[in-house]
C-alpha cells in the first residue's frame, strides 16, 4: 500500500499569513495513463471534507486562488496564502493512483 | 447543484449487518466512479470502497474486504454499501463521494457498532 506522510500535524498561522503543508508518498503517484492522482481536501469543523485541489495543481470550482498545489512524483505541497478565518480546519491529502486509495493523516490549521 | 445524500446509518450490534444508501443528483451519475469513505470519531479519513461506472469493478481495502459490498443502481442514481459482520472498529461517519478525484461529498451518516 502507498503510505502518505503528511506534515506538519499542527500548523499555527496568523490571519493574513502563509501556510504550507507537505505530503510525501512511499512510491511514485504517476499513473500509467500519465496523470498524477494527488488531491487536497479541507474539512471544516462539523462539516464534510471538500475538494480544494485535484491532480496536484488544479483548483476545484469555487476555490480561491489563495490555494495552490504543486509537486511531482512522490513529493507534493499545498500552499495557502493570505490565510482567512474560513481556511481553518483539517487538511488531508489523498492519493487515488494506486488501490487502495490512501489519505494522509491530516494537518490541523489553527490560529497562532 | 450536485447533491449526495446518505441514509441508513444507526446503532447496530457487533456481528450484525447494515446497508447504507447514497442518493445522487445534479450530475450524470452513471458517468462517475463512486466511493465510500469513513471517519472514526476524532480520527482521520479512511477509504472504504470504490465502484466503476457500470458497477462491474469494485475495490476495497483489506480492512473491509469480504465483509463490505459496494453496489450501484444507475437508473436510480443511487450508491449502496452493504456492511456485514460489523465490528466495533467500523464505528464511524460514512461519506459517499463522487469520481476518482472525490470531488463531491455527502453530509455523512453515522454508524455505531456496539452491544
> What residue in A sits closest to B106 (Cα-Cα)?
A48
- The dihedral region occupied by A79, where left means phi > 0, alpha psi between -120 and 50, and beta the remainder, is beta
Task: Return the pLDDT at A74.
Answer: 98
Say how far apart CA A62 and CA A89 lie, in whole Å: 18
How is residue B105 annotated by DSSP? B
Task: Return the pLDDT at A46.
Answer: 95
Say how far apart CA B24 and CA B8 lie, in whole Å: 15
Task: Return the pLDDT at B35.
Answer: 98
Task: Return the pLDDT at B41.
Answer: 97
Q: Do A50 and B105 touch (CB under 8 A)?
A: yes
Radius of gyration of chain B (CA): 13
The mean pLDDT of B9-27, rounded to a whole number, is: 98
Interface of B with A (CB under 8 A): 35, 37, 44-47, 50, 59-62, 95, 100-108
Contacts of A101 in chain B (CB under 8 A): 35, 47, 50
Q: Do A39 and B107 touch (CB under 8 A)?
A: no
Segments of chain A scoring below 50 in pLDDT:
none
Say how far apart CA B20 and CA B79 lie, in whole Å: 8
B75-108 per-position pLDDT tens digit? 999 999 999 999 999 999 999 999 999 999 999 9
Task: Return the pLDDT at B86.
Answer: 98
Compute the nearest-CA separation of B46 from chain A (Å).
Answer: 7
Compute the nearest-CA separation of A10 from chain B (Å).
Answer: 14
Task: Return the pLDDT at A28.
Answer: 98
A54 interfaces chain B, CB cutoff of 8 Å: yes
A106 interfaces chain B, CB cutoff of 8 Å: yes
B39-70 per-position pLDDT tens digit? 999 999 999 999 999 999 999 999 999 999 99
Task: Return the pLDDT at A36.
Answer: 97
Amino acid at each position: 500500500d502507498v503510505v502518505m506522510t503528511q506534515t506538519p500535524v499542527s500548523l499555527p498561522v496568523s490571519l493574513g499569513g502563509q501556510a504550507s503543508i507537505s505530503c510525501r508518498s512511499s512510491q511514485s503517484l504517476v499513473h500509467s495513463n500519465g496523470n498524477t492522482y494527488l488531491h487536497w481536501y479541507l474539512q471544516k469543523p462539523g462539516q464534510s471534507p471538500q475538494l480544494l485541489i485535484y491532480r496536484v495543481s488544479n483548483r476545484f470550482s469555487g476555490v480561491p486562488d489563495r490555494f495552490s498545489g504543486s509537486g511531482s512524483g512522490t513529493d507534493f505541497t499545498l500552499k495557502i496564502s493570505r490565510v482567512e478565518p474560513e481556511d481553518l480546519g483539517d487538511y488531508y491529502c489523498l492519493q487515488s493512483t494506486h488501490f487502495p486509495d490512501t489519505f494522509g493523516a491530516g494537518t490541523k490549521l489553527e490560529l497562532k | 447543484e450536485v447533491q449526495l445524500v446518505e441514509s441508513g446509518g444507526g446503532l447496530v450490534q457487533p456481528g450484525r449487518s447494515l446497508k447504507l444508501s447514497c442518493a445522487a443528483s445534479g450530475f450524470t451519475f452513471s458517468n462517475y466512479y463512486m466511493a465510500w469513505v469513513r471517519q472514526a470519531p476524532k480520527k482521520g479519513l479512511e477509504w472504504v470502497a470504490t465502484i466503476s461506472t457500470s458497477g462491474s469493478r469494485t475495490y476495497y481495502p483489506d480492512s473491509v474486504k469480504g465483509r463490505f459490498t459496494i453496489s450501484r443502481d444507475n437508473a436510480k442514481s443511487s450508491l449502496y454499501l452493504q456492511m456485514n459482520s460489523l465490528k466495533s472498529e467500523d464505528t464511524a461517519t460514512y461519506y459517499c463521494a463522487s469520481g476518482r478525484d472525490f470531488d463531491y461529498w455527502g453530509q455523512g451518516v453515522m454508524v455505531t457498532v456496539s452491544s
